[in-house]
Amino acid sequence: MSLKSKTFEKLANAVDQADETTVDGVEILALAASAVKNLNEGTDTEEDIYQIGTPGEIGFGVATCPAHLIPSGWRGLEGHDNIMSPNYGNYVDANGSILVYVPKHYYRWSGNTLEISHRPLSGFVIDRAFINGGKEVNGVFVYKYGGGNINGILVSKKGLDPVSSYSGHNPVANINGASENNHGEFYQAVKSAGNGYFLTSVFIYSMLARLSFAHGKAATNQVACAYSDVAPYMPKGCNNNALADTNDSGVTFSPSGYSNCALTGSGEPFAKTTHNGQDCGIADLNGNMWEVASGFIRTDTDGFLLLKESVDITAIQDDGTSGGAYDTSLYDALDISDVVSGNDGWIRIGNGANAVFAMNTDRTTADYKRTAIGIPTQNGVSSGGTTEFGNDGVYRYLRDQMACLAGAAWSASSIAGVFALHLYDARSYSYYGVGARASYLV
């Protein structure tokens, strides 16, 4: 039986088991049929079976990982290969962490219209998240939830108090391999899960933001995208300082016991808090905890720096040695002075109908590199931003030894979101609302 035949067999079984009910006038069975139709396009290859999907459709934004790529000791959760399952594309590693598989894909911005493709079509460019050590990778496993601590290992599990860089809030120094409570220690903390894990990069956070944006704009119903009913049409989060979402008060969270921080993955309805608006998606990306993102730093001597494509991100640690996270020889200079030229505080993403992100298929250009990490164009920001981009904020500062933070904390209000970036903190800083998550390339 071919790969495609096996996939259709599983989809057919899912359709047979689906409830014949309607949500917002759209039948679940019709949505499943649409997913089948989209999978049927193209040739019968792994590239076509294990793909990113179609924005607005069920299963978009995650995929089943080809069996030969699954790391030793890992296994797929029940339904990981069923596009209708809440566990589609979800895996558990040897530590008991839940990770979500996102396959390699390509994108094209046309103004503020974003297209996603699993093939390198004309005018599209590969997402930077899938380039490592000078090579293209097949995909990335991302911690489904913000990182917590179980027996000294930074893990991805639902219902945990997030680890922070602050001594008074589930401190990172309690993770194996970490010794201090500061943002830089998360480079070491992720290695408690295993050598192949790395501190989730700014490329990955930006990639997940793009997927969320494309999905929310394309969605026509809440079955395929739960957050498509309340603007901004992107993942909701714990961000109103009262265990709810500032734009959608119906999305609530369970307290972790520290201030108004929520337990990991505790949002209800859960699907509204994931990158693809489905239970199978990656949660905790908007609010609750700023997360330290690797791959983008700044020093007073060299300015803003972006990790070279030739560097293996999985080998980077912040241990103060050559090859560490702040070894500037691993980075290329990136000029973003048209947006971040001083210690100017918040600016927001979106400026009327202006294009927010540049588009260039040449990966050596500043346009490509800026878009790869979510830095908008000079004309793509304003004091208030736009609802289309969640009014998400970018905090502008010229900090030596800068540690890039993504997503925002529980009190951030409307500046929080999947595009939010904070460029103020140094690697040596400590804060109760800053955490991290791990990822794994295959």
- CA gap 334, 332 in Å, rounded: 6
Task: Please report the pLDDT score of residue 30 as a whole number.
Answer: 52
Kindly state the average pLDDT of the residues 358-386.
Answer: 98
Structural domain includes residue 34: yes
Q: Is the pLDDT of residue 9 over 70?
A: no
pLDDT-based confidence at residue 49 (cuts at 50, 70, 90): confident
Which tens digit of pLDDT belongs to each residue from 166-205?
A: 999 999 999 999 999 999 999 999 999 999 999 999 999 9
DSSP secondary structure string, 272-322? GGBTTSSTTS-B--SBSSEEE-BSEEEETTTEEEEE-TTS-GGG---SSST
Please check whether residue 30 lies inside any domain of the structure. Answer: yes
Q: Does pLDDT of 280 surpass 90?
A: yes
Is 87 inside a domain boundary? no
Question: 318 pLDDT band (50/70/90 cuts)?
Answer: confident
- Mean pLDDT is lowest, of 13-27, 232-246, 357-371, for 13-27
Residue ranges making up the domain that contains 30: 1-42
Looking at the predicted structure, is the pLDDT value of residue 12 above 60?
no
The answer to whether residue 256 sits within a structural domain is: no
Using only C-alpha atoms, the chain has a radius of gyration, in whole angstroms, of: 20
| Domain annotation covers residue 4 | yes
Average pLDDT of 334-351? 98
Share of the chain above pLDDT 70, in %: 88
Query: Is residue 88 pLDDT above 70, yes or no?
Result: yes
| Number of structural domains found in the chain | 1
What was the pLDDT predicted at 45?
Answer: 52
Q: Which pLDDT does position 317 carry in this prediction?
A: 85
Minimal CA–CA distance to 125: which of 377, 259, 273, 309? 309
How does pLDDT run across 267-277, given as a tens digit for each residue?
999 999 999 99
- Joined tokens for residue 83: 């596009």
Average pLDDT of span 98-104: 98
Asked if residue 187 is part of any domain, the answer here is no
pLDDT-based confidence at residue 31 (cuts at 50, 70, 90): low
Model confidence over 205-226: pLDDT tens digits? 999 999 999 999 999 999 999 9
Summary mean pLDDT of the chain:
92
Judge contact between 150 and 156, C-beta under 8 A.
Answer: no
Confidence band of 20 (pLDDT split at 50, 70, 90): very low
Quick check: 235 and 272 in contact, CB under 8 A? yes
For the four alpha carbons of 38, 43, 49 and 55, in that order, the dihedral sign comes to: negative
Q: How confident is the model at residue 440 (pLDDT cuts 50, 70, 90)?
A: very high
Residues 6+ away with beta carbon under 8 Å from 122:
none
Please name which of 256, 92, 288 lies closest in space to residue 161, comparing C-alpha atoms.
256
Give a yes or no: residue 437 inside a domain: no
pLDDT of 40 > 80? The answer is no
Predicted pLDDT at 5: 43
pLDDT of residue 90: 98
| Residue 404 located in a structural domain | no
